[in-house]
Structures are given as structure tokens and as C-alpha cells.
Amino acid sequence: MFLIPDSVGRFFHRMASPPHFYTFTGRLLPWLTAIFIILTAVGLYGGLFLAPADYQQGDSYRIIYIHVPSAWMSLFIYVVMAVAGAIGLVWRIKLAEIVMISSATVGAGFTFIALLTGSLWGKPMWGTWWVWDARLTSELILLFLYLGVIALYGAIDDKRTASRAVAILAIVGVVNIPIIHYSVEWWNTLHQGPTVSKIDKPSIHVSMLIPLLTMAVAFKFYYLVAMLQRARTELIQRERNSQWVKGLIE
């Protein structure tokens, strides 16, 4: 490709080869897991012990250290899934399909955590577990999209056909992502507006922001660990009749 440096192109080209992907991620996983554990420990300690209480919500606000990174991840993983799906559709790369379907379960998990923690926080703060405002509803639709992706993949026996069908569903669902992000700006919602992504300056004190960003990075690593493990399993399952998988067993 014209815009991508040659070395990056070569890296992805090699990663698209199943045996190379399998051995490379096998060596990478312990490191990723270690980084995830360290970042989570640091982030949680910072968020639960070092960060001060909020001027209005007291200690209840600390749920943002789980809720906000989960919600970010739910959007991020969906985009990764859709892009992987598009790559799989266009170039018919088996590994892109595997990354797509392996992301779906992790993304659904993060979406569920975001909805659940938001609900737990909403009861004492707003006075209700759930409201049908634009932000909450669009996030719920995201959960259904993830579940739809997982169900559709499971419903078709031939996994290459299944991947193509799922990729189309994932790409169509991408329209929901900007809706979720901008819902609090386009419409009146009970959910508050953006805190961190505001361009001028985030409306969160820096002592609370640092643990939040640490947790966000930690969750990214968790996603990598969980997704790669799923991808490796899916890969050897699909390639079970090939020479290199037989070589692994011997």
C-alpha cells in the first residue's frame, strides 16, 4: 500500500500467516498479561485509595474507574471488530476474520459491565436504575449488536461463510458508534456530557484523571490478552487438519 511504511506492511503480512501468528502471540501473551496486571493494580490503587473523594458524590464516583474504561472499550472493540471484518471481506484474510469474532465476546463483556456499573451508580445518584434516554438506549443496542454477532457466527456451520455474514453485520452496526458517542450532545439526556474528551480541558481534576487513564490503558491490555487467547484457540480449531497444527501436538 502507498501510505503504510514498508516495515509495517511486512509485519502485518507475516502476522497473517497462521503458524507465525500462533508462535508470535504465544511469546507475547505472558508480557501482555504482566503489563495488564501491573497497570490494573496501579490504577485501582490510585483510583480507590489515592484519588480524593468527589465534592458532590463522595466516594460513589469511584465507580468511574470501572464504568468509564469499560464504556470506552465497548466502543473501541466494536470499531476494531468492524475494521477486522472489513479487512476479512476485502482481502479474505483468515486471521482478520478470527480477530473479528474473538473481539466480539470481549466487547460484549465490556458493554455489559458498562451497563451494569452505570445502573448501580444510577440508583443512588439519579434515583433510578434505568432510564430510556439516548445514551443508555444506544449502549444497550450496542450490547444487542455484539450478541447478534456472536449468535450469527454460531448459527452458520461453515466458519468462512459465517465470518462473511458476521462482517457485514458488524460493519452495518458501526453507525451506532458515533450515535453513542454524540448522544449526550445531540439530545437532552439524563446521562451527563463528556468529561475527558472535551477539547479545551477535561472537567475532571488531574488527581482523579491519572488513575482513570491508567485503568483505560490496563483494559486495553486486558482486551489484547483475552482476544489473542480466543484467537489462538479459534485458529487451531479452524486449522486442525493442517500440517503445522499437527506439528504442534507432536
Nearer to another protein, 19 or 148 (CB): 148
Contact string 48-67 vs another protein (x = CB under 8 A): ----xxxxxx---x--x---
Interacting residues of 110 by C-beta distance below 8 A, sequence separation 6+: 70, 71, 73, 74, 77, 219, 223
Q: Which of 172, 233, 237, 248 binds another protein (CB under 8 A)?
A: 172
Sign of CA dihedral 43, 183, 106, 79: negative
Q: What is the CA radius of gyration of the chain?
A: 20
Contact string 210-229 vs another protein (x = CB under 8 A): --------------------
127 binds another protein (CB under 8 A): yes
Nearer to another protein, 192 or 237 (CB): 192
Contact string 75-114 vs another protein (x = CB under 8 A): -----------x--xxx-----------------------
Residue at grid coordinates 455489559: 112
SS3 category, 58: strand
Q: At residue 58, what are phi and psi to the nearest 5 degrees?
A: 65, -135
Q: Which of 4, 34, 193, 242 binds another protein (CB under 8 A)?
A: 193
Minimum CB–partner distance for residue 174 and another protein (Å): 7
Q: At residue 54, what are phi and psi to the nearest 5 degrees?
A: -80, 150
Nearer to another protein, 162 or 184 (CB): 184
For the residues of 163-193, what is the DSSP string, one character each?
A: HHHHHHHHHHHTTHHHHHHHHHHHS--SS--
Given its phi and psi angles, is residue 58 left (phi above 0), alpha (psi -120 to 50 degrees) or beta? left
Binding site for another protein (CB under 8 A): 52-57, 61, 64, 86, 89-91, 124-128, 131-134, 168, 171-172, 174-175, 179, 186-190, 192-195, 203-205, 207-208
